[in-house]
Structure formats: structure tokens, C-alpha cells
Amino acid sequence: MKRAVITGPTGAIGMALITQCIREGWEVLAVCHRGSARISSIPVHPRVKVLETELSELGQLEQVIEGRYDVFYHFAWEGTTGTARNDMPLQTRNIASALQAAELAAKLGCNTFVGAGSQAEYGRTEQLLSPETPVFPENGYGMAKLCAGQMSRIRCQELGIKHVWVRILSVYGPFDGPNTMVSATLRKLLCGEHAAFTPAEQQWDYLYSEDAARALFLTAEHGKSGKIYVLGSGQVRPLREYIDSIREAVCERIDTLRVPEGRKKYLKAGSVGIGELPYPKGQVMFLGADLTELTNDTGFMPEVDFEEGIRRTIDGIIDSVYNGDSAVR
């Protein structure tokens, strides 16, 4: 039986990866931020253990973790949104934490380290992103991700561990944070609220979380050491089309629901306003993944299209509504 450590496991990708590992018969140690409200959403399973800590304490966890592990997935990162992306001291600490994660992986006996990179490492470009695409990050978050990937690769080489860095594009799913386009739009529309957008001419690439988790699992198993992979759906569509699909899926799902009387006020389709907001400064207008390297090395190909993924995500959010999740309301 293989064993995996996952830091930052409570997001859309981490939760899907835990489920993937359970399905494959692996044991999982989910290393979570101390006191996180999302810990309660981690699957209760005999092969899943939860450890609460702070990101800055990764270097001391060897003393409290029992046994040896095979794969170390490092997703944990602070300051991923808003002004925190340019909080340079914070982003610098993230780099240090990534190096601590690599060293912890070695101490736990792991033979593979998989780090979560970002499309922010590239900056703005008008071409499909591949491992060979030049990198010109425009904010501290992207700069720190780039540095963390490069430095942790060297450290893993020194430690004798396989290192794989996956630059992840836009992933969505039932456990996504509330501030992403897909999640924020779904939550507003399911509550009958109005969702305002830019002209939505951006060409974008969205990948469902279960597909992302499967890709990361295959990368740990078959990815080549020292390589960078780009993870997305490989399909680019105008943002307007994604918004239309979200709106249609919400309307269709609500029409089929037999909503409990006490929850009716929480589930009714809202409205969409495209073109009501200006593009923000530095708006990325094109974002798409070239999956050639990833597919050649691991065999990964996406299986869930956007429309099906949105239906599954809606069901996950509705389950949260029925369970009284105030974040949804």
C-alpha cells in the first residue's frame, strides 16, 4: 500500500486528490492549516489521517509523523488572491516553505515530490502554455511560484528525490474557494443574485477538479524527474461561453429540484450582466494549456467536459446549502 502526504488538501484539487488516492487504495496524510473550517469536509476514511499545523512549521513535522511515505504533494500556499499576491515578504516565506516541504519529503522517505505551480509564472501570453513557453511573471505570487519550483527542484536533486512541478491553470469543482469566477458565479446565481462581468472576451481554459486530481496522481506515478508540466483542459473557449453554460446549468438544475420549504429562498436562479465591469489592469486575455508533454509522459487526457463538470459542481454546492453551509448563502 502506497502512502501520500498532501499539504493544503482542502481546496478543489486537494479534496479530489484525496478521493483519487482512496480509490487507488493509498493512505493519505492531509496536512491542513490549523483551525481551518474546511477540515470537516475531508472524507472520513480509515486510510485518511488529518494533521493540523502552520505552513511555517513544516520543517518540524518529522517529529510527529509516524512511518514512511512514498509521494509528497505540496499544494499549501498563502496569499493566493487580492493584494496578498504582491505581499513580497509573505511570498518569500512561501518559497521557504516549499523548500521545507521538499526536505520533509526526504525525511519521510518519499521518492517523489510534486509541487503545485501556476500559470502566473508565465505572465501574459497569446499562445498555448507549454513547459518551453518563456516565463515573465508580473506579480509576487507568480515570481514566488517560479522561484519555488526552481529551487525545490535543485533541493530534491540534492536529496535524491524525483521532482515534478505542475503549472496549474484554472481548476473548478465542488470544493473550490468562493472567490474564483466559477464558484462565485454559481453561488450568486443559486442564491438569486446578480452576477456582473467584464465583456468576457477572454479566451480561457477550465479543468474539472477530478480530472486535475487524476492528472496529478498520474504525474506522481509516471512523470519524469526534473520536468515541468502544464495542467489544464487543453480546450480554450471565450469566457462568455463559460458564463452562458453556468447560467443554463443553474436554471436547469433548479427546475428539477424538489426544494425543502425552509431552503427555497436559497435556491433560485439569479441574473447575469456581461459587459457591466471594466477589465482590470493587467487582465490576462488568453490562457490555454498545451498538454502534449503531460499526455506523452503520463497518458493523461481530460474526461469531464465543462458542462458536466458544472452540473457536478452545482450538486456539490446544493448539498452544502441543504447542510446549512453559511458560506454558500
For range 4-13, the mean pLDDT? 96
- Does the pTM surpass 0.85? The reply is yes
pLDDT at 328: 38
pLDDT at 324: 45
pLDDT at 256: 73
| Residue 298 clears pLDDT 90, i.e. is over it | yes
pLDDT tens, residue by residue, 246-270: 999 998 888 776 555 555 444 567 8
pLDDT at 281: 87
pLDDT at 257: 64
Q: How far is CA 185 from CA 78, 106, 130, 235, in A?
A: 23, 41, 29, 21
| Residue 327 clears pLDDT 60, i.e. is over it | no
The C-alpha atoms of residue 98 and residue 147 are separated, in whole angstroms, by 10
For range 44-63, the mean pLDDT? 95
pLDDT tens, residue by residue, 107-161: 999 999 999 999 999 999 999 999 999 999 999 999 999 999 999 999 999 999 9
pLDDT at 259: 54
pLDDT category at 326 given cuts 50, 70, 90 is very low
Q: In whole numbers, what is the pLDDT of the chain averaged over residues?
A: 92
Looking at 29-33, 162-166, 255-259, 286-290, which range is the least confident one?
A: 255-259
Which of 166, 170, 171, 95 minimizes the C-alpha distance to 131? Answer: 166
